[in-house]
Amino acid sequence: MPELLYLMSDDSRIPVIRHFVSKENTMKKNVHVLCCGTLVLAAFLAIPASMTTAEESQATQTIKSFLSGGLCIEAARVTERPDVSYDSVGMPYKWYSVDDTYRLWVSLDGEKVYRFTHNRWGCNELHLVEGKTHDDAISETEAFASVVPLLSYLGFSTEQNEYEIEFKDTAYQTDQRINDLWGARWYIRKAFSLDGIKCRSRYLTIIVSAASGAVVGFHHNPVIPPENTLNPIVPYSAAEQIALAWITAHPYFAEANPTIAADSSQEQIVIAQKYDFYGESMVGRTVPISTYYSWVVIFDFVEFGRAYQCGVWVNIETGEVVGSG
């Protein structure tokens, strides 16, 4: 009778039949049994490897690579939420949870990470911030050093002078004016441009805990190429009047007395999103956002007794108001 043996794989026991060959058997039979056994074993061993490759999606591979290669975090369980969203990024993505600790937004093709958030960093660092003040925070240089591995992994420059770096303490549990370390963080930001032209709301921001130096947030809004050409058919003077008529009729500015700002005469062209900050929301968006080469017209206005500024963007080819912000 053949004897049933088991070979151990990562998640199963694979049965293999061992044949007993008597001394009377010929060499031909021995070779036949050996070859058949080898083929059966190879077939069984190939199954788990192929199943693993098929089961792990591109998004899961991207997430694990991002966490491991950029943040030295080893992910065990990746859970996908079925909804497709466009909020904030303006491009379609899906939401993923990793080990109930991290949240990521990943493009539909599974190739790009748009957002990373450490959900528990505040609670995890309570022991680090107890009795500490802003004087105990890591330095700006130390904060930037913390993000260099991630920048290198993503292919961004690691030159500190190319980034804006700002210290903030905005934890909701404390008064912003209290000099403690709870919720304090460093923001490392880079605004994007295309061929030297500034892209509105397209940027990279990395958030670093001021207590530990851990990366706790990552926001990436990639450049969206404009749908028009860099051909200013509409002169800036006409764009000013178009923007003035638009903002005067806008319900939000009904009592704000908007006027063209003195510094608006610089005639700057930007790549602007088709989005009215004062009249619509990015939350719940169901279509991708589009961008256009636009004139920027700056306005002064008054709200609740305080002076503010905003920009209105006018398409340089058609004269259509693209948006505001």
Reported as a pLDDT band with limits 50, 70 and 90, residue 318 is very high
Q: What is the pLDDT of residue 9?
A: 34
- The two three-digit tokens of residue 32, written as one number: 């036949």
Q: How many helices (H) and strands (E) does the chain have?
A: 6, 15
Q: Residue 35 pLDDT more than 80?
A: no
- For helices 140-154 and 58-71, angle between their N-to-C axes, nearest 10 degrees: 140
Confidence band, pLDDT 50/70/90 cuts, at residue 170 = confident
C-alpha to C-alpha distance for 17 and 39, rounded to whole angstroms: 12
Amino acid at 161: N
3-class DSSP state of 147? helix
Give CA–CA dist 325/310, Å, rounded.
6
- List the one residue out of 275, 271, 277 whose CA is nearest residue 289: 275
Q: What is the pLDDT of residue 177?
A: 59
Q: Which has the higher per-residue pLDDT, 221 or 286?
A: 221
Q: What value does the mean pLDDT take over residues 91-114?
A: 97
Section 290-297 average pLDDT: 98
Residue 104 has pLDDT above 70, yes or no: yes
Confidence of residue 266 (pLDDT cuts 50, 70, 90): confident
The model's confidence at residue 48, banded by pLDDT at 50, 70 and 90, is very low
Query: Which ranges of 27-186 does DSSP label H, i.e. alpha helix?
Result: 27-55, 58-71, 121-124, 126-129, 140-154
240 neighbors 153 (Cβ within 8 angstroms): no
At 178, the pLDDT band (50, 70, 90 cuts) reads: confident
284 φ/ψ sector (left φ>0, alpha ψ -120 to 50, else beta): left
Of residues 27, 117, 109, the one with CA closest to residue 73: 117
Mean pLDDT of 211-232: 97
Q: Which two three-digit tokens encode residue 201?
A: 């709301």
User: pLDDT at position 176, please?
Assistant: 56
The domain spans of the chain are 3-55, 58-220, 236-324
How many Å separate Cα 319 from the centre of its chain? 33
Q: Is the pLDDT of residue 40 over 50?
A: no
**Predicted structure pTM score:** 0.79
- Is the pLDDT at 183 greater than 60, yes or no? yes
- Is residue 37 pLDDT above 60, yes or no? no
Percent of the chain surpassing pLDDT 90: 70
How far apart are the C-alpha atoms of 134 and 169, rounded to whole Å?
9
Q: What pLDDT score was predicted for residue 255? A: 92
Buried b (16+ CB within 10 A) or exposed e, 88-118: bbbbbbbbbebeeebbbbbbeebebbbbbbb
Rg from Cα positions in the chain: 29
Return the C-alpha torsion angle 129, 135, 141, 147, nearest 10.
20
